[in-house]
Structure 1
Amino acid sequence: MTDNTEKSKPTIFYAKHSDPKKHSRVNKESSTGWKDKRKNDVFQSKPKRDRNDRIETFQARSDRPRFAKQNIVVELNRSPSEIEHDSPWQKKVRANDQTPTFGYDGYRQRKEETLVYSENSCKAVFKHRRTAIVKLFIIQEMTYQFKELINWLVQERLGYDIVSNEQLNKITQTPHHGGVCLIVKKRIPLTLLNYLEQKSDADKDCILAIDDVNNPHNLGGLIRSAAFYRVNAVMLRQTNLLNSGAAMRVAEGGIEAVESIKSDDFIASLDMLKQHGYQVVALLPCQTKSVASSELHKIRFNKKVALVIFQQINMKLISCADVVVHLKGNDNMPALNISVATGILLSNL
């Protein structure tokens, strides 16, 4: 009975008591080691930086604190009278000589690029074919006039340099640059056949066929008159003359408003124009007894006209003309400048 009672009792296990000193020593050692490790950690012991220990790239002026952190392009929105002599733009002017890629980086640049200078010419390039712009050179005083162009160059990540007037004289090889110069891609001239295909549906059209006018100032004056009277195209043997910086400056941006047509054979080109319904009108530079001509007020013009302009009389081209006209002068002045005479003729169309 006693044995069965002892067997039925549950078995009880007693846990051994741990030594509190031992545990406290281990905890103390682990705690001490973690603190020592933290003390020895070089990343936890950073030296404090002094407030004045900073690198300043631009010190803002005290009189304009609002513009201290803004881009320097903010100056473009201010008029020239508001820009002070100690403007940050003055620090942007390059001290070394600047040279454009045109004419300096090999044959490809001389063939494909050209220089455009003067205010109206550069603005016309930006208006009509801004994608042809390669780089801008400009003096500080003209930045306000070209703030839209400069902002566009910044957005397109294209280069521009603010240079001195003397440096711009060297770049353009002339003092008549107007304080601004662009490097642009040359325009590709059309053939007469391609032009006639574009104008196949046009009821009215006017083409200026310029023969042997090599003076860039006269050529620029002709193009300016052509653009003023909405002439659609000019035809030349040497279309590269239209890329002359002097011609573009005198044209005041008019070159960008007319198409250029290259013709190696003027007689064949005039015959082709006749076949497409154009009236060929030849303007004599002066009245001559050897050539039968009419006065301007007696001429009736068609809707499609091709005006042939001479520097010197070309009898082969005159024989191709439907009408020959001259401007009557007097003993004091028998003839006008070719660009002025062309403007008078165009005003009567």
Structure 2
Amino acid sequence: MTARKSPWGGAGRGGRDAPERAAPRRREPAREPVVRGEGRGGADDAGESRELRLYGLNAVRATFARRPQALRKLYLSESRIPALQPLLKWCVANRIGYRVVEEDDLRRLAASQHHEGVVADVLREPPLPLSNWLDGLSQGPQLALWLDGVGNPHNLGAILRSAAHFGVAAILVPRHAQLALSGAAARVAEGGAEAVPLVRLGRPENAVAQLRAAGFLLAATVVEGGDDLFAAALPERLVYVLGAEGEGMDRGFAQACDLRLSIPGTGAVESLNVAAAAAVMLASWQARR
């Protein structure tokens, strides 16, 4: 495996009464082309598309509850009409087109069999700059996750779900990372994607300095050689740094962090999946509060 180049001078580690249906403003075929895992529409400055295709009941409901104005199109199975009545009534009142379609159409639209009877095109919420996020942060205990190379959408979704459950303040994403919310990640997050903001970082050294100035300490999560997570003193304002699924986190970056933590186990397996490790880390911090 080729080691990742480190910005810190190190190398990567190897080891239902239905409302009357409104006629959409534009009638469009349900069997339109779909790109797997990608949003739709034009691209913004970060190269991310402006629209995101969501699927899954809780993912769509969470977006509607928090950002109804982001909804652009809706497709659903007939069996979902009772559960989605409030959303459909909003579509009627705001002239947002929706269509009742067949199971095969939903599968093609979502590019997944896990659509749960509903697909929606919504405007993507752009990541916040780190300075903006810090300016709006309240005083007192705060927890954030820095994802150093994590890219699997299902892992991102599981991390977002755990982050929402434990009240994480943000997911911090390095500036050159390709990580972005996808339909698959949002479905796995079960609504958590709307509860936890994504924050785009600048230069790593600057980001670390900004976080420390705001009272945060950074904890590198390492497979071995770190302090026992369950015995270590965890500060009130903490950023856990989680490494890539295959490579782990960058060694140079780990040395630059204030803490290095490991999750003790039996040794029967080398380590936990990054999403499982994140849940354990978050629960451990929350238990100290």
TM-score between the two structures when normalised by the length of structure 2:
0.81
Q: Which moved more, 1:121-130 or 1:105-114?
A: 105-114
AA matched with 1:302: P
Question: 1:202 is matched with which residue?
Answer: 139
Mark the CA change 1:95 to 1:202 in structure 2 (over 3 Å): closer, same or farther. Answer: closer
Deviations along 1:20-61, one digit per CA (max 9) or x if unpaired, are xxxxxxxxxxxxxxxxxxxxxxxxxxxxxxxxxxxxxxxxxx
Structure with more helix by fraction: 1
Question: 1:121 is matched with which residue?
Answer: 59
State the percentage of identical aligned residues: 27
Question: 1:346 is matched with which residue?
Answer: 282
Mark the CA change 1:268 to 1:316 in structure 2 (over 3 Å): closer, same or farther. Answer: farther
Mark the CA change 1:97 to 1:260 in structure 2 (over 3 Å): closer, same or farther. Answer: closer
How much does 1:95 deviate?
12
Mark the CA change 1:236 to 1:169 in structure 2 (over 3 Å): closer, same or farther. Answer: same
Mark the CA change 1:341 to 1:204 in structure 2 (over 3 Å): closer, same or farther. Answer: same
AA matched with 1:314: D
Question: 1:295 is matched with which residue?
Answer: 228
AA matched with 1:276: A
Query: 177, 185, 190: which is aligned to 2:115?
Result: 177
Question: 1:242 is matched with which residue?
Answer: 180
AA matched with 2:62: A
Question: 1:187 is matched with which residue?
Answer: 125
How much does 1:101 deviate?
9.5
Instruction: Measure, in 2, the Cα distance between the counterparts of 1:313 and 1:239.
Output: 13
Q: Is the 8 A contact 1:280 1:305 kept in 2?
A: yes
Q: Does 1:310 align with 2:252?
A: no
Instruction: Measure, in 1, the Cα distance between the counterparts of 2:219 and 2:79.
Output: 46
Write the mapping of 1:84-233 to structure 2, written as runs, cut at 5 A.
97-99=30-32, 107=42, 111-199=49-137, 201-233=138-170
Question: 1:320 is matched with which residue?
Answer: 256
Question: 1:259 is matched with which residue?
Answer: 197
SS in 1 for 2:143: strand
- Bigger Cα Rg: 1
How much does 1:100 deviate?
7.6
Structure with more strand by fraction: 2
* Higher RCO (CA < 8 A, seq sep 6+): 2
Q: Is the 8 A contact 1:328 1:334 kept in 2?
A: no
SS in 1 for 2:61: helix
Instruction: Measure, in 2, the Cα distance between the counterparts of 1:215 and 1:335.
Output: 17
Mark the CA change 1:125 to 1:240 in structure 2 (over 3 Å): closer, same or farther. Answer: farther
How much does 1:267 deviate?
3.4
Mark the CA change 1:155 to 1:95 in structure 2 (over 3 Å): closer, same or farther. Answer: closer
SS in 2 for 1:345: helix
Task: Calculate the aligned-residue CA RMSD, in Å.
Answer: 2.7
TM-score between the two structures when normalised by the length of structure 1:
0.68
Instruction: Measure, in 2, the Cα distance between the counterparts of 1:105 and 1:214.
Output: 20
AA matched with 2:97: G
Unmatched 5+ stretches in structure 2: 1-15, 22-26
**Structure 1 residue ranges, 4+ long, deviating more than 4 angstroms after superposition:** 94-97, 100-106
Unmatched 5+ stretches in structure 1: 1-73, 78-87
Q: How many residues align?
A: 257
AA matched with 2:53: L
